[in-house]
Amino acid sequence: MSDMNAESPAPSLVPGGRRRHRRVRQSGGGVRRALVLALAVPVASVALSGPSAFAVDKGIGTTAKDTAEPGPDDQHMVTNLESRVVDQRLGSQVSGVVLDAESDATLWDHDGATALMPASNVKLATATAALTVLGPDHRFTTKVVYGDGTLTLVGGGDRTLTTADLAELAKAAADGLRAAGLASVKVAVDDSLFPEPTLADGWNTDYYPDSVAPVRALVVDGHGVQDTSLDAGQVFAGQLTANGVTVAGDVTRATAGPHDVPVARHRSAPLSDAVRTMLKKSDNDIAETLLRMTALGAGRPATFEGGTEVVRQVLSRRYGVSLTRFEMYDGSGLSRADRIPAATLAQILELLTEERHARTLGSVLDGLPVSGEAGSTLGPEWGRFDDVNSRCAVGKVHAKTGTLTGAIALSGLTQGKDGKWKVFSFIENGSTAAPNDIKDAMDGLAATVNGCWA
């Protein structure tokens, strides 16, 4: 199982300089950026929406010596990481990277190029591609059309559709039927936007429907059922009945005809809102739906293969992220065949520190769970950042969690003891320790990067 089964304008980043994205490498080299990220968000008041807590001010044309040495705070952090990464709770398969967002240097690298099972850290790649291809303001449309005595509910890939939304569609449809002198109608659902659901490579058959539902283009209230489309159709039919319309027979599956008459439509909230929810709660169903919609947006089939192909192209061609040893088979990270190096995840996160990507990728930054944030996967209800070593970092770490049997990951950003922002990624595979103990050790690594656990 991966984490939990389960808005607002893009963050404003102060315009400044520009820089060329680089590949992660060992400490010492790089183009220096004058980058200041200011964060002041007490954990008690962390919001799931609103302006980003980060602000960026990049200088133009400033450089640093390629042989610049890390400062004493970073040196102390590295020393601590070297001793703490061998914590027996983490096991022997651990990959980790820490980047300095200002100096463009890799401060620490522990097998960072090793590709491990990343669990829900895959959602960082999914979100980046979806926002880039579709745009943060993209909305998904659910329609109702009428033809030959049948109202057809047409799915548009909106994983956030609610009963209240269907009630509005049903009321509009009922008003239209009455105006046409009709009191009885059949109901069908059209989810042909996506092909018939299949299992991704590396998915277990028992994932359905609790960890993830079969991926269809129509769902209501995030119901975890085998056939989300028929389920949504039944909810819609119930709303029609509540509006005085007689629904004849059972809800069926059909394809809307080209001459069917448009009756009503519902547009979702912006994609940026869905991305925030997906990351805060690690929602597998939203992730898999976004993977398919991203594929369609790029002119590819709405399949696992089509979606992951687009993700790879976006990461490598649009952003210059290294895909060496990168293997991705789904959008959620449930696949046990997924393999991503910590260095690659750090590169994806580093994009969030660049002002030029703020408009597109800002909701990824805002959607990262905050250490101690109730309602997120780093909340106290999940036992995160609550031990003697990591408690000091509550409210100070923004990171995506990842949890599968045999794999735990934590990748994000935090402000170091020197006041500069660090990007980090830690992944472990195969530890035999209790999952909560592994997470405590992982949280401790993040607190070490922050410098509060000195």
Taking only the tens of pLDDT, the chain with its 454 residues reads 555 443 333 333 222 233 334 433 333 333 323 222 333 233 332 222 333 334 333 322 222 333 347 899 999 999 999 999 999 999 999 999 999 998 879 999 999 999 999 999 999 999 999 999 999 999 999 999 999 999 999 999 999 999 999 999 999 999 999 999 999 999 999 999 999 999 999 999 899 999 999 999 999 999 999 999 999 999 999 999 999 999 999 999 999 999 999 999 999 999 999 999 999 999 999 999 999 999 999 999 999 999 999 999 999 999 999 999 999 999 999 999 999 999 999 999 999 999 999 999 999 999 999 999 999 999 999 999 999 999 999 999 999 999 999 999 999 999 999 999 999 999 999 999 999 999 999 999 999 999 999 9
User: Which are the contacts of 155, defined by CB distance < 8 A and separation ≥ 6?
Assistant: 142, 189, 190, 191, 193, 194, 216, 217, 218, 219, 229, 232
Q: Determine the pLDDT at residue 70.
A: 80
Six token digits for residue 442: 């992982």
Q: Determine the pLDDT at residue 370.
A: 98
Show the domains of the chain with their CATH numbers: 43-136+273-450 (3.40.710.10), 141-268 (3.50.80.20)
Six token digits for residue 35: 């980058």
For 191, half-sphere exposure in the C-beta direction (CA atoms, 13 angstrom radius) is 26
Q: Determine the pLDDT at residue 3.
A: 53
Backbone φ and ψ for 56, nearest 5 degrees, come out as -120, 140
Q: Determine the pLDDT at residue 15.
A: 24
Q: Determine the pLDDT at residue 1.
A: 52
